[in-house]
Amino acid sequence: METSSPNTIYWYGPFLRYHGLERSLPIFLADITSEGPKTIKQIILRTHRHEPFTIDVVPS
């Protein structure tokens, strides 16, 4: 989820099944909406177990 005003990126999950996401998403959206963002954009990203959730950026 990405919001503007405040400019924030939220990572929500992981979920083993899409059904778990569908059940929990309305609660999460209500919480974000209560913060009063100007816009909310959501992207569903499916990853595999071996993929990392974060990437370290090392300055060169």
Domain boundaries, the chain: 1-60
Own/partner contacts of 25-32, CB < 8 Å, gap of 24 or more, are 28/1, 29/1, 32/1, 32/3
Given its phi and psi angles, is residue 37 left (phi above 0), alpha (psi -120 to 50 degrees) or beta? beta
**pLDDT recorded at residue 33:** 92
**pLDDT recorded at residue 43:** 82
pTM of structure: 0.60
**pLDDT recorded at residue 39:** 94
**pLDDT recorded at residue 42:** 84
Low-confidence ranges of the chain (pLDDT < 50): none
Q: In this structure, what DSSP letter does residue 7 have? A: T
| Count of Cβ atoms closer than 10 Å to residue 8 Cβ | 13
**pLDDT recorded at residue 34:** 93
**pLDDT recorded at residue 57:** 66
**What span, in angstroms and rounded, lies between the C-alpha atoms of 8 and 35?**
11
